[in-house]
Structure 1
């Protein structure tokens, strides 16, 4: 045993932790990075170190495979023995544990599988949920299941929620008032150097990171090597960015340091070399968030933080799930900076401005609030809680996301209408992959054989490297002959899936070692069928120019130069939708035909009458249509469409084009203006006749016309004015007052009946000046409430004056008008006293 094992800082907290577990059975352990919570605590709880107490079997759950392997190797190294003895690990596709194992490190996904198979978790005495602060969905789910086990089956099972930084009080409440035990560490100071880019950097979106930022990060790494001693740990969001920065840094000769890459896809040998520490030249370790808290990288004195992270996002409406690049939270920044001070004073170079720090989110979101919940929903259903309402979770699953997940499970026959798991669903859950991929494996194996289906599903479970291309079948062929780390993992996963499939196959099912419906299908056929079975709503039909329409209704685009662009049908395996983009981008797809699309997405097939208003044609379109989701397969015109559907289509046309689609005569327009005036001045019961109001009540005032109409031309013949009369307040008798309150014409002193214009805010009476002689009071409408605005016209019909007060005009304004116009129109009367004169429509000459 290593002599320094018991000198780890977490040792001071162990007595309190042991008492908490003995008294309460649960505890929350808060221990900063580097204190030994992942290595010493499990050994003490298992009784493998002096003073550790009685022997117990301990299961440690880590959120990542790389962390699980590393933790097991570290503990075995401290005990001076190989992995697989008393210390073991199990991750998907790899197990190094045996009968003698007393501390087993597993991923949270593996732990969930065990709980579903054996809810009592037989043989385990203590479960340590490590890195709880990262709020991974599997970890939250495992905690909820374990609390159920303690409550109903095994109250003696001990449970520890361990984290570097976490919501300790929240976890304590969740664990039934568990004691919080804190471990203090001897922290080393970390200097912060703010190193923002000098050039503008575009914000990240989707998986895209501005190359300008990556060039800057590489420059900051070189600066750190010049200014500081020790190894450099550089945080980047993903594997692609790690590769690009590694290329920018160059080899050891130019850089003066060895460049290593740490991420979930890195070969195990490289991971081991990084975590073992360096004895030679300086090292630059380029890492994803996996190195924030799960792993200790010895020798690091400098951290370069690009300030970015990857988080899952799900577009439930379009059925697209993907990782997206975001600004890392302040909590993540603290975790990353702390890696520089694990062993000695250090420095962190932050590649953003100090002023931006306050605008960063405080913590990353819990995965349950942003991720695809299909796998979670199946886990909950198989656990016996389909709506997850009885699970002890720090954050409840969003209702919309859970409903979308349930819809996927029902479509794949994994659950019934009540959300309870079917036998098929239980088998899908035992395969250890996403339910979509489980469906593809089960159904695909019957068509193309177990091995080939397993190989394609393995490709889909971990997306191939970008250099494999966007053609799934071609990527499959590449993986078969490749010798890189991805190909090795792919082969192992394919083998695991084939064995898992054999374990869940029932005796009455057809054998899955050979296809029974197709004869030696090609790689393209197999890849397309399996991908379409996994993502039936993503089968897509060509629209031309590399554009496709998926069955979900989302458009998708292929990249320039893709060999898939000539395919009439695609099974889209991987796609993302950039921010503000109208179409998704196809990252990985396979060529299929219509028969395969209909086989895989049969639940989306529908046939029936479609009657709608076509904006392109500006008319009603009535057809019998066969569809695969949003994709139209065939259509034929309907000669006698359903009247209710036609009526609905016509109403849609009215809503799109407005009441102007109808025929508005001068009388109809006038009536609408008069009603609008009365509604504005008097209110109810006079109707609102604005466009929005008329469209809202279209069935009420256009009912008979809509019943008779069949197309646009029928609407264009409708007399809107006559129909509008149906909205008059007939019921209370007010309709008969229309002519009184808003007369269409007013009689003036000359005897003429002049039309009133209600189009403006105030009614207008445009009349020749001579016809108004002798009238002192301005005409009023709306029961005397509103004076009309009188436009007094010259004999030629041009405005001479405008007034709402005739008496005042005769006294003060008429004289100047008379002086101006009398000489121009001498045949018309211009009396000095218009108020006492006789109104006339005639000229002086005709009167003589």
Structure 2
């Protein structure tokens, strides 16, 4: 792997100094026909000049440009604060420096807040407003113009553009920023871009940029996937020097152990400790404090604990925070109070929070996980990686020396994972699978990915896509699937939007889908229809974003010709020829037309759209707050939920605690059986069901919706083959004890087990497992006649078991010889042999064996019987497997003990020569 270290190039080419004395600046190239102007006069111009001159990444620019000229792709490793996000795109576009032609550059950021911030920073450096030569596009917001040369987009927007225009016409270079975070969209975009370079646009330049990353892996990927053509070549790695400001590490673990994160749960004791560390940092250090927490709920709790801080303002930054709040945090303060910024991982990279000199790191992060068995996806709390910890610490040293307080023991630091887990390893891959199918790689095997998608997750994703009509049987994207991919939604939500618009109109479908695409705040409640009404009248930031997304989705649907307006939706035949790919005869659409889309209440519409998005989560009540979802997972409502008492729910958001068998309903809508059956028609089944249940054969005709039983009627003449399978299942569950085992049958089984143990073949194994495995061989006739448990209980197990005897070899006739049921003793009695367990036992009165020297042996003389010598009262007096030795050594003590107790019985001096007897001595 080629690693290029730039020796430094001094300054970028200076422009002519301004007339104002003492103000030099780096050369900024003006657009055609327009001068370079700074929006706030000389002060801002000087600040921009100074900022450009301080960015350390400038020293790596010659090496980076040379690598791109020679190979067309490169990996840029630049620590936080070096300018990789702001200066590099400007240089690649030719807006800074001399000698570079003006090019169009796309910069892909993993988050909307980072995309907006990067665009504003670059525009400020150019002395312009966003939307001029630097613009941005994120979901629901776009500020670009015909003059835009550098456009910052989210990775999701980049994917949409690639699907619409694979050649990326007019784009000369793409920068994938913060690729170390391993978001699925970023990995997918990188794979598509490498395809574009290899097949369509070899001149397209590609930069993978990050502060901490697997540089070797990315270099191999970019080398093999680009012009290298898979020849093992690697892309150059260019490293930029870091900011010189040192960051002191202070280890601040809790005084007492805290419970590790469990699912979404974070120990409240850790949050209390983090709040105390923030207070400590404010006392011990100068400057603003940036505190990293895993999620919005934890931020809110810590903010509550910090309420009333003297001389400090507490701010919250996360993906759901209002844009105005985000911008205020990034703008900093000028002489105002100190700030405590509580943030999720959105503040790890691509952002500089002015004034921050202290970082408090709780050491936790959130990663997506998919429970494919239950169809539930959720975020889970994990320990942050060492790479993330370095990124977070770097926030404190962006502008001056700083300090990071790490809320875990120093000894645990080395045990942290090196990098974050790639999202592709544990996330829901449905959207990825659709993107890959639309790209022409249904199984994703031909895509250049650092980590391949798990086979099980891809199979589950394809099943979902097939069910919603997005891919065909071969996994290729259908016309409908292509349209879904271009909506900028998860395929499930795209299905709900397209099909819902046909039933209830584009506007109402878009409103509900917008709620599902970004989960409403927890204070909106768990009732989807209620949250919908709250968002309509709300003036909070979420409601504002929701309305913006509604407008985008409504335009997307109506522009594609899917959704008739609300009035047309209620009219039969309004769908025309369904040229958008929605097949006629769709059960949900037919149901919508029958019930009259225009007259539906908000509750009914919310239930329908949620059921269309998550058909396997339609749920039927089975208790006060308990429900069963069609996927087979139980679900529970929270205490006091207004959804309680509803017979049917369409569950939109649910998670399952690790220790719980049931999922917790976070957001759902009331629905009815007809809507559930229409939306989840693919899960419906109607057929004969014959199985072993509740201790007997249950034969019914059952209509089901997945795991939910809708209607059941008894079957009078069930299929005999199904009955036989049910009986076998009963035998497997309850064992052969279901049959009638007489004493003779038990004895026969014990004798056969003894012979199999001692002699092996051809004597059969008659253990429970073996008998069940060979049920056809010995129970075939009886199983063919039986219809229920009572029939099995009448089966003579001994008669059936005799079919397993080795008749074919002739050994069956030797059964009584090798394992006799009874043994004749010297007294003439025929005594039963007990083959129960271990060595066979012969229990006989001592007097009946007088005169017998040798112990009886069976199994062809291989196995001596274990003789239990009984007293006259039938109680064991001695146990031996060697009669001769007993008569010689053991008999005297037994005689001495029992002769006085049983005087009527003979106790000869020499039992070996005495007459055996079953009787007492004659009276004298």
- When normalised by structure 1's length, the TM-score is 0.97
Q: Which residues of 2 match residues 340-489 of structure 1 at below 5 A?
A: 340-489=396-545
Distance 1:347 1:727 in 2: 81
Give the whole-Å Cα distance in 2 for the aligned partners of 1:359 and 1:700. Answer: 58
Cα separation, 1, equivalents of 2:739 and 2:906: 46
Which residue does the alignment assign to 1:62? 109
Paired position in structure 2 for 1:694: 771
Residues 520-529 or 341-350, more deviating:
341-350
SS in 1 for 2:411: helix
**CA displacement at 1:187 relative to structure 2:** 3.3
Give the corresponding residue for 2:66: 19
- 1:514 Cα deviation (Å)? 4.7
Aligned to 1:185: 242
1:3 equivalent to 2:49? Answer yes
Q: Which residue of 1 aligns with 2:8?
A: none
Q: Distance in 2 between matches of 1:531 and 1:601?
A: 11
Greater shift, 310-319 or 817-826, is seen at 817-826
Are the aligned partners of 1:88 and 1:105 in contact in 2 as well (CA < 8 Å)?
yes
How far off is 1:512 after superposition?
6.0
Asked if 2 retains the 8 angstrom alpha-carbon contact of 1:58 and 1:128, the reply is: yes
Alignment match of 2:723 (pick from 646, 658, 662): 646
Checking the alignment, whether the CA contact within 8 Å between 2:79 and 2:243 is kept in structure 1 is: no
Corresponding residue of 1:515? 569
Q: How does 1:144-543 map to 2 (within 5 A)?
A: 144-176=191-223, 177-251=234-308, 254-279=309-334, 280-505=336-561, 510=564, 514-516=568-570, 517=593, 518=596, 519-543=598-622
Aligned to 2:649: 570
**Maintained 8 Å contact 2:505/2:564:** no
2:128 maps to 1:88: no
Q: Give the distance between the partners of 2:759 and 2:540, measured in 1 at CA.
A: 82
For residue 544 of structure 1, what is the aligned residue in structure 2?
A: 623
Among 97, 115, 122, the alignment partner of 1:50 is 97
Q: How far does residue 511 in structure 1 lie from its aligned partner after superposition?
A: 5.0
**Compared with structure 1, are the counterparts of its residues 783 and 255 closer, same or farther at alpha carbon in structure 2 (3 Å cutoff)?**
farther
Q: Compare 823-832 and 749-758 and name the one that shifted more.
A: 823-832
| Deviation for aligned residue 1:212 | 2.0
Give the structure 1 partner of residue 733 of structure 2. 656
Q: Secondary structure at the match of 1:586?
A: strand
Report if aligned partners of 2:80, 2:243 keep a CA contact under 8 Å in 1.
no
Alignment of 1:23-42 (within 5 A): 23-42=70-89
Alignment partners' CA distance in 1, 2:777 and 2:256: 63
Tell me which residue corresponds to 2:686. 607
**Contact conserved, 1:672 with 1:724, CA < 8 A, in 2?**
yes
Q: Distance in 2 between matches of 1:748 and 1:484?
A: 99
More deviation, 119-128/513-522: 513-522
The residue aligned with 2:587 is none
Q: Structure 2: how far apart are the matches of 1:187 and 1:599? A: 63
The root-mean-square deviation of aligned C-alpha atoms, in Å, is: 1.4
Q: Write out per-residue CA displacement over residues 365-411 of structure 1, whole angstroms, 9 at most, x where no aligned residue.
A: 10011100000011001111111111000000000000000000000
Q: Say if 1:618 and 1:146 are closer, same or farther in 2 by CA, change over 3 A.
A: same
Shift of 1:349: 1.2
User: Does structure 1 retain, via aligned residues, the 8 Å contact 2:603–2:669?
Assistant: yes
Cα contact 2:251–2:405 (8 A) shared by 1: yes
Q: What is the CA deviation profile of residues 633-669 of structure 1, one whole-angstrom value per residue up to 9, with x for unaligned ones?
A: 1111011111111111111111111121211111111
Q: Does 1:588 align with 2:667?
A: yes
Aligned 1:105-144 pairs, distance under 5 A = 105-144=152-191
Q: 655-664 or 768-777: which moved more? A: 655-664
What secondary structure is seen at the aligned counterpart in 2 of 1:74?
helix
Residues 202-241 of structure 1 show CA distances to partners (whole Å, capped at 9, x for unaligned) of 3222322222221221111111101111110000011111
Matches for 1:741-756 after TM superposition, within 5 Å: 741-756=818-833
**1:729 deviation in Å?**
2.5
Shift of 1:201: 2.6
Partner SS state of residue 544, structure 1: coil
- Matches of 1:604 and 1:41, distance apart in 2: 52
- Cα drift, residue 34 of structure 1: 0.7
Using the alignment, how far apart are the partners of 1:148 and 1:168 within structure 2? 20
Q: TM-score, normalised by structure 2?
A: 0.90
Aligned to 2:866: 789
Quick one: distance in 1 between partners of 2:569 and 2:261?
45
Partner of 1:731: 808
Q: Distance in 2 between matches of 1:296 and 1:683?
A: 79
What whole-Å deviation, never above 9, does each CA across 1:53-89 have from its counterpart, x for those lacking one? 1110000000111100000000001111000000000
Unaligned runs of 5+ in 1: none
Stretch of structure 1 that moved more, 678-687 or 549-558? 678-687
Contact kept, 8 Å, 2:396 with 2:402, in 1: the verdict is yes
Query: What's 1:799 paired with?
Result: 876
Where in structure 2 are there 5+ consecutive unaligned residues? 1-44, 224-233, 571-592
Is the contact between residue 621 and residue 646 of structure 2 (CA under 8 Å) also seen in structure 1? yes
CA contact (8 A) 2:501 2:564 kept: no
Q: CA deviation at 1:195?
A: 1.8
1:662–1:717 Cα contact (<8 Å) kept: yes
For 1:430 and 1:754, how far apart are their aligned partners in 2? 87
8 Å contact kept, 1:259–1:284: yes
- The runs of 4+ residues in structure 1 deviating greater than 4 Å are 509-514
Please tell me whether the aligned partners of residues 112 and 142 of structure 1 are also in contact (alpha carbons under 8 angstroms).
yes
Counterparts of 2:726 and 2:289, CA distance in 1: 66
2:909 matches 1:832: yes
SS in 1 for 2:209: strand
Q: Secondary structure at the match of 2:922?
A: helix
Per-residue Cα deviation, 1:409-467 (whole angstroms, up to 9, x for no partner): 00001111001111111111111100000000000011111001001000000000000
Q: Tell me, what secondary structure is at the counterpart of 2:644?
A: helix
In structure 1, distance between residues paired with 2:202 and 2:58? 27
| Rounded Cα–Cα distance in structure 2 between residues aligned with 1:591 and 1:510 | 25
1:199 shift after superposition: 4.2
Name the SS of the counterpart of 1:563 in structure 2.
coil
State the distance in 1 between where 2:99 and 2:420 align.
36
Shift of 1:784: 1.5
- From 639, 656, 670, give the equivalent of 1:560: 639
CA contact (8 A) 1:749 1:839 kept: yes
What is the distance in 2 between the residues matched to 1:208 and 1:8?
40
Number of residue pairs matched by the alignment: 841
1:541 shift after superposition: 0.3
CA–CA separation in structure 1 for the residues paired with 2:454 and 2:547? 36
State how far apart, in whole Å, the 2-side matches of 1:727 and 1:42 are.
82
